């Protein structure tokens, strides 16, 4: 029996299709590499904007910063600014993570710098209210269609270490204090930063005295929302509080290591679900 033969034009068409596929695949791989390089560069830029952990350690008796993005860039951010005896510092958790969250992150970081330098603006609730107005305006002022609902939750503190006076404003995030073995949680506030239709937002400043040995914790929800454990559940807020109490007597660099270890043990083989940011400062 004679072997089947194919017309030359069919063979040519097949070879041409394969060549096009190989070429197209190479183009897609090149674009993927280019995009990844761009995101990595954006991540390095974001890291350069975030303050070094040593700035917190120089401002307080002791401090740590635990920062672990889910992706290369993060929707979480931390921030600190010193003016005379006042130390302003915050942790923000922006809408989403990755590139969209990072854009809101950088906008919030920049706006805080501008607001805090305005003469006479020092009250945490006033600062958060201005941040809310500015961020909402930034993302919606030039839109012709629709409304952007990007925003953030933030815990914002102002401590005067000379007078021993502290104040805090929570916009969707709480502040945790451990004093003499007891944990106190300052409530997070019901309103977040960003667009809200027909909302009459209320931001409140909570004042308190600082005592030597106080440890304050600011954090996003990435740690407590992580799934893991035997039954693949969220780590949750109560487990996080118990963990903080169990390590409170340790130096803060040891606390950071314990937080990382506990997180890794809990997460196991599960995927990281969100950006993580935890800051601890000791008076």
pLDDT tens figures, 135-184: 887 766 554 444 455 678 999 999 999 999 999 999 999 999 999 999 99
Q: Is residue 141 part of a domain?
A: yes
Report how many domains make up the chain: 1
Q: Is residue 29 part of a domain?
A: no
pLDDT at 144: 42
Task: Please compute the mean of the pLDDT values over residues 82-87 and round it to a whole number.
Answer: 90
Q: What integer best gives the mean pLDDT of the chain?
A: 85
For the segment 214-225, what is each residue's pLDDT rounded down to a tens digit?
Answer: 999 999 999 999
Q: Is residue 42 part of a domain?
A: no
CATH code for position 272 = 3.60.40.10
Residue 207: count of CB within 10 angstroms of its CB: 11
pLDDT at 143: 47
User: In the Cβ-directed half-sphere of 266, how many Cα atoms lie within 13 Å?
Assistant: 21
For the segment 24-77, what is each residue's pLDDT rounded down to a tens digit?
Answer: 777 677 676 766 665 565 566 666 678 999 999 999 999 999 999 988 778 888
Q: Is residue 20 part of a domain?
A: no
For the segment 226-242, what is each residue's pLDDT rounded down to a tens digit?
Answer: 999 989 999 999 999 99
3-state secondary structure of 110: helix
Please state, in angstroms and rounded to a whole number, the distance separating the CA atoms of residues 166 and 157. 7
Q: Is residue 267 part of a domain?
A: yes
Q: What is the enclosing helix (H) or strand (E) of 191?
A: none
For the segment 90-119, what is each residue's pLDDT rounded down to a tens digit?
Answer: 999 987 555 666 677 777 778 888 888 876
- pTM for the predicted model, two decimal places: 0.83
Q: Is residue 220 part of a domain?
A: yes
Q: Is residue 150 part of a domain?
A: yes
Q: Is residue 138 part of a domain?
A: yes
What residue numbers bound the domain in which 115 lies? Answer: 53-282
pLDDT at 78: 93
């Amino acid at each position: 029996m004679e072997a089947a033969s194919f017309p030359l034009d069919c063979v040519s068409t097949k070879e041409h299709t394969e060549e096009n596929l190989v070429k197209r695949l190479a183009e897609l791989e090149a674009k993927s590499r280019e995009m990844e390089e761009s995101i990595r560069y954006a991540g390095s830029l974001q890291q350069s904007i975030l303050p070094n952990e040593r700035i917190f350690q120089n401002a307080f008796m002791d401090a740590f910063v635990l920062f672990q993005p889910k992706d290369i860039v993060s929707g979480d951010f931390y921030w600190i600014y010193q003016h005379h005896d006042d130390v302003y510092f915050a942790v923000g958790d922006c809408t989403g993570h990755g590139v969209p969250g990072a854009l809101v992150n950088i906008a919030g970081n920049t706006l805080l710098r501008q607001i805090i330098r305005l003469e006479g603006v020092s009250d945490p609730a006033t600062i958060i209210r201005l941040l809310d107005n500015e961020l909402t305006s930034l993302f919606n002022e030039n839109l012709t269609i629709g409304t952007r609902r990007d925003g953030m939750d933030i815990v914002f503190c102002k401590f005067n270490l000379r007078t021993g006076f502290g104040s805090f404003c929570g916009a969707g995030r709480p502040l945790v204090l451990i004093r003499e073995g007891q944990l106190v949680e300052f409530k997070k506030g019901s309103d977040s930063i960003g667009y809200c239709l027909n909302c009459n937002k209320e931001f409140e400043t909570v004042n308190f005295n600082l005592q030597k040995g106080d440890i304050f914790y600011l954090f996003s929800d990435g740690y407590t929302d992580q799934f893991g454990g035997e039954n693949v559940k969220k780590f949750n807020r109560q487990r996080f509080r118990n963990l903080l109490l169990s390590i409170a007597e340790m130096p803060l660099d040891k606390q950071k290591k314990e937080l990382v270890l506990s997180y890794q043990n809990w997460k196991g083989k599960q995927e990281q679900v969100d950006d993580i940011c935890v800051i601890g400062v000791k008076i």
